[in-house]
Amino acid sequence: MATGHGNLYTAAGKMGTQIGSLLKRVWDKDSEGSQGLRLLVTGKSGEGKSTLVNGLLGAKVAVEGAGSERITTKVEEYKADLEGVPVTVFDSPGLQDGTGDEDQYIDDMKKKCQTLSLVLYCTKMTNNRLKDEDKHAIVKLTKEFGQKFWKYAVLVLTFANHEDVERRDERDKDEGPEPDDDDEESWKELKKKRFEGRLKKWKDGFHKFLIEEVGVQRDIVERILVVPAGDHRVTRKNKEPYRLPDRDDWFKELWLACILRVKGIKLFLQINKSRIVAEDEVETGAEVTAEQEPELLEKLKQFLEANENIQEPPDVEDSTLQLTDAPAVDETYTAKLQENIKKMDKEAWVKGQEAQLKEKEEEIRKRREEVEKQLAEEQRQEIKRQTEKRNCDSQK
């Protein structure tokens, strides 16, 4: 079945035919007893989560567009059946939004999500770096779910197509004069170089924060993929929305990153058979024996890695992330994380005290207004009585 976006990846020649045959063999077998894929999309409201949700499910289930992403106070759940695989995407309220009760948000995530195949943490690439609210959310998520949370994570940099690479900034290494306006090839290469450099700074900064400020183990952090994501809607100014300066199709590469990140790789392959291999190869590929399956799966991963420069998936014991499990103290609560938690608790206490003080000030202000109104009314009544008395005396 073709998607609205078309075939996002076409394997070539005999290799593609073998992969198509292999996928046909493993799909049904791998799906037995499976809950399907359960994905958590989290990040601040307005960070492009709705676009991502719709792309993942291949249907418009979440409202997109400027101003449409309301600040949610509960986990939104979207379901679809893709290529026979049940897929559930959870859109969580952002811990970064500064609204509502964070503990209530976490409890809602534990209750509704329970088990997850993959976590997509979204933030705008145009933010240039992690904002304080993102750092706060990352510390909170690590505190609640442990370091294992990041074993299943992909950092998605949304609004990547709005990254202005035609304008040099402090992140860029290129110096000297820029190409002439009509030198399209040189500009194309320069924009690609700038985009790749900015993407690397994002990745390095994100990894550094997790390791040095949160205390997540280096081997976990270095496997977290950082993938840019743009828009998917064709407009007059953006006739090729899937194209970014360093890649022809961000959506394809996002799916490949997901495929190689999640342990249940076969379910991802099943869902994306029309995106990963050509349709005719899926339907008419030569049969593959059971003995050939491990070798071909390995070839598939190597093939994708060679073409897309995406790392191998992490080796995790469990195929799903259990949000209901309490994190192990010795693995999660590192000294740095404890320091950040104490800092957050202190900031929360200060914020609470400030809120109480503001409430008291507001209460005093309202009381003062009431007293002033009462005094003004009493004065008005007294003036009225004095006026009436003078009028009465003058009539005598």
> Whole-angstrom Cα distance, residue 326 to residue 338?
16
Report the predicted TM-score, pTM, of the whole model to 2 decimal places: 0.67
pLDDT at residue 352, rounded to an integer? 64
Task: Yes or no: say if 9 and 256 are a contact pair by the CB < 8 Å rule.
Answer: yes
Query: Which residues fall within 8 angstroms of residue 111, CB to CB, at 6 or more apart?
Result: none
Backbone angles phi, psi at 2, to 5 degrees: -80, 150
User: Tens digit of pLDDT per residue, the chain (396 long)?
Assistant: 333 333 322 332 333 334 334 434 444 444 444 567 788 998 887 777 777 777 777 667 676 655 444 556 678 888 887 766 778 888 887 776 655 577 888 888 888 888 888 899 999 999 988 988 888 889 888 888 888 899 889 999 999 988 988 888 888 888 788 889 889 899 999 999 999 999 999 999 999 999 988 888 888 898 888 999 887 677 777 788 888 998 888 887 787 777 666 655 555 555 555 554 433 443 433 444 556 556 555 655 554 555 444 444 444 445 567 776 656 554 555 666 767 767 766 666 666 677 778 888 888 888 899 989 999 898 888 888 888 888 887 776
Place of tokens 């609204």: 99
Task: Kindly tell me the burial class for residue 340, based on how many C-beta atoms sit within 10 Å of its own C-beta (0-12, 13-18, 19 or more).
Answer: buried
Q: How far is CA 72 from CA 44, 132, 155, 346, in A?
A: 10, 20, 21, 26
Place of tokens 């961000």: 250
pLDDT at residue 292, rounded to an integer? 52
Tokens encoding 28: 């049904």
Q: Where are the domains of the chain?
A: 13-327, 334-396
pLDDT at residue 120, rounded to an integer? 92
Task: Yes or no: say if 171 and 197 are a contact pair by the CB < 8 Å rule.
Answer: yes
Which CATH superfamily does the domain covering 13-327 fall into? P-loop containing nucleotide triphosphate hydrolases (3.40.50.300)
For residue 51, the one-letter residue type is T
Task: Yes or no: say if 142 and 214 are a contact pair by the CB < 8 Å rule.
Answer: yes
Task: Yes or no: say if 56 and 89 are a contact pair by the CB < 8 Å rule.
Answer: yes
pLDDT at residue 257, rounded to an integer? 73
